[in-house]
Amino acid sequence: MKTHYIIIIILLFLVVISVISVIDNKEKKEVQSVESVADTLSFQDSVYNYILSLNIQHAEIVLKQAILESGHFSSKIFKENNNLFGMKVARQRPTTATGEQYKHAKYDSWQMSVVDYALWQTKYCHNLTENEYLEYLQRVYSTNKNYTATLLKVKI
């Protein structure tokens, strides 16, 4: 029972941090474009740093997922839904999604999709070793039989 309370507190903390970040970004009115290679690398660094700031486990794997699932930050689901990970709308856990479009979760910002990923990871695969995590991703995250092999080939 204590574990559930700890998880809830962690999740609430992550949401509060993310909301503060979104409000701060909106106040600054910074628009981050990923139109050029330099912009893409800069954006990739921003995503990675945000993943690290939320203490998401296996950060490099998660960054590779963001790159792969968003088509190097160029997919329609990423651009229109702010969805870095190809996440569907959560039905049985807390989520930061604000709706659904193209059968995928829609977020107010890309940061909210990272927070949602953190919520998913905390709920379903917290404290796994790297190998266990990759095995879990292969079983649960994608229908692609070579998902983890493809994921591991992504350059960061």
The 3-state DSSP composition of the chain as helix, strand, coil percent (nearest 5) reads 60, 5, 35
CATH number at 40 reads: 1.10.530.10
Q: Are 68 and 84 in contact, with CB atoms under 8 Å apart?
A: no
Q: Which of 89, 79, 90 is nearest to 123 (CA)?
A: 90
What's this model's pTM, rounded to 2 decimal places?
0.78
**Domain residue limits at 9:** 2-27+36-153
Report the alpha-carbon distance of residue 135 to residue 141 in Å, rounded: 10
Q: What is the structure's pLDDT at 30?
A: 39
**Percentage of the chain surpassing pLDDT 70?**
76
pLDDT digits (tens, 9 = 90+) for 119-130: 999 999 999 999
Quote the number of domains for the chain.
Answer: 1
Q: Are 113 and 87 in contact, with CB atoms under 8 Å apart?
A: yes
Q: How confident is the model at residue 26 (pLDDT cuts 50, 70, 90)?
A: very low
